């Protein structure tokens, strides 16, 4: 059963209120910069800010650059994890990836090398996400990504018959500058974590990161997670309840890299960020939020997105803890 959205605070949410938050996000974004370690991402408009809220009945409220396309990057981890959990099972996934936060940057390998744990701490950092990508069904990276793209097309609420698109320029740019991720993948292979051929697993990972989305798409993903895997409005199951809940738990503890604790204190809802400028957030039983703002803080999180989501959590009393 889909929870009712007949809540006073949601009913007062309108495009004008979101536009005010967009303006605040634009001003704050002046302090950051776009990601430059992937050359294609550095060309994003740093002043762009968009926000979309998807209620449990499927209705969308949006403002700013909410329809501007960008690539998922690490937000894709919030799609890849439930897809793999439902495809191969939880036991097999967590035999290779842990469930603990690191407090380290997203591409750090310090704990992977130094800890007796000997596997990535969680699926929301690069090491864990690369291991997850290697577990996707398919022999080649393209085959692995095709399954994920099909799953994503349904969860993102794309029209029937349409499939999520990949940004070929970003994919090529990412693959050409991925020395650290290749090092991580080969180290995972040495530990017996990486399944199949290393380059095929990496190819799948690069393809998932280069998936094109908008803030509206992310809000639909957030709403699906908020409803424990159900499609907004129709109530159709798009992912299992368990996969949605496991994903949200890891988003809450690990979703904003080494800024996860601070964001959890300020927003109190599960969220996942990416260096492409996107953030997806889910307020259980109520709504999903998608934001876009490619100007990043030092931790790689969208400045505008963080401000907008924290403000919405306060205004709508979304804090879950």
Let me know if residue 257 belongs to a domain: yes
| Model confidence pLDDT, tens digit, residues 47-100 | 999 999 999 999 999 999 999 999 999 999 999 999 999 999 999 999 999 998
Report which DSSP code applies to 43. Answer: G
**Tokens (6 digits) for 21:** 């938050």
Domain boundary among 175, 209, 243: 209
pLDDT at 2 > cutoff 50: no
Let me know if residue 167 belongs to a domain: yes
Name the pLDDT band for 7 (thresholds 50, 70, 90): low
Let me know if residue 2 belongs to a domain: no
Q: How many structural domains are present in the chain?
A: 2
Residue among 46, 66, 74, 134 flagged as catalytic = 74
257 is catalytic: yes
Name the pLDDT band for 13 (thresholds 50, 70, 90): confident
275 is catalytic: yes
Domain boundary among 162, 184, 209: 209
Query: Residue 52, class by beta-carbon neighbours within 10 Å (0-12 exposed, 13-18 middle, 19+ buried)?
Result: buried
Q: What is the CATH number of the domain that holds 185?
A: 3.40.710.10
Query: Half-sphere exposure (CA, 13 Å, Cβ side) for 158?
Result: 15
| Cα gap 270→6, rounded to integer Å | 22
Residue among 29, 75, 77, 306 flagged as catalytic = 77
Same domain, 102 and 204: yes
Residue among 83, 149, 205, 292 flagged as catalytic = 205
**249: Cβ contacts below 8 Å, ≥ 6 apart:** 99, 270
Name the pLDDT band for 106 (thresholds 50, 70, 90): low
| Model confidence pLDDT, tens digit, residues 248-276 | 999 999 999 999 999 999 999 999 999 99
Let me know if residue 1 belongs to a domain: no
* pTM, entire model: 0.94
Let me know if residue 321 belongs to a domain: no
Same domain, 25 and 85: no
Same domain, 81 and 202: yes
Same domain, 41 and 139: no
| Cα gap 193→96, rounded to integer Å | 6
| Cα gap 76→99, rounded to integer Å | 17
Mean pLDDT of all residues belonging to the chain: 92
| Cα gap 65→15, rounded to integer Å | 12
Same domain, 92 and 204: yes
Domain boundary among 151, 186, 209: 209
Residue among 84, 246, 275, 308 flagged as catalytic = 275
The pLDDT of residue 56: 94
Let me know if residue 320 belongs to a domain: no
Let me know if residue 307 belongs to a domain: yes
Same domain, 219 and 194: no
Same domain, 218 and 149: no
Let me know if residue 295 belongs to a domain: yes
| Cβ 129 vs Cβ 168: under 8 Å | no
Residue 190's domain comprises: 74-209
pLDDT at 29 > cutoff 90: yes
pLDDT at 4 > cutoff 60: no
77 is catalytic: yes
Same domain, 84 and 202: yes
Residue among 83, 149, 257, 292 flagged as catalytic = 257
């Amino acid at each position: 059963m889909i929870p009712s959205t007949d809540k006073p605070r949601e009913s007062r949410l309108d495009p004008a209120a979101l536009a005010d938050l967009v303006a605040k996000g634009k001003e704050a974004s002046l302090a950051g910069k776009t990601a430059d370690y992937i050359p294609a991402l550095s060309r994003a408009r740093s002043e762009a800010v968009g926000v979309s809220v998807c209620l449990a009945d499927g209705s969308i409220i949006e403002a700013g650059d909410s329809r501007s396309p960008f690539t998922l990057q690490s937000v894709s981890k919030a799609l890849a994890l439930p897809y793999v959990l439902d495809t191969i099972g939880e036991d097999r996934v967590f035999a290779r990836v842990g469930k603990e936060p690191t407090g380290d940057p997203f591409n750090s390998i310090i704990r992977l090398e130094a800890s007796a744990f000997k596997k990535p701490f969680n699926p929301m950092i690069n090491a864990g996400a690369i291991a997850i990508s290697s577990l996707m069904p398919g022999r080649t990276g393209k085959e692995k990504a095709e399954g994920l793209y099909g799953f994503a097309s349904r969860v993102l609420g794309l029209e029937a018959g349409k499939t999520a698109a990949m940004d070929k320029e970003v994919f090529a740019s990412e693959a050409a500058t991925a020395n650290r991720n290749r090092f991580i993948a080969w180290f995972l292979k040495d530990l017996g974590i990486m399944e199949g051929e290393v380059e095929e697993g990496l190819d799948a990972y690069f393809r998932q990161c280069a998936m094109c989305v908008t803030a509206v798409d992310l809000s639909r993903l957030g709403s699906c997670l908020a409803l424990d895997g159900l499609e907004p409005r129709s109530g159709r199951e798009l992912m299992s309840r368990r996969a949605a809940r496991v994903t949200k738990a890891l988003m809450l503890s690990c979703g904003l890299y080494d800024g996860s604790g601070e964001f959890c204190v300020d927003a109190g809802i599960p969220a996942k960020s990416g260096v492409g400028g996107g953030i997806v957030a889910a307020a259980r039983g109520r709504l999903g939020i998608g934001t876009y703002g490619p100007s990043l803080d030092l931790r790689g999180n969208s400045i505008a997105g963080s401000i907008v989501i924290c403000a919405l959590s306060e205004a709508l009393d979304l804090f879950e803890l």
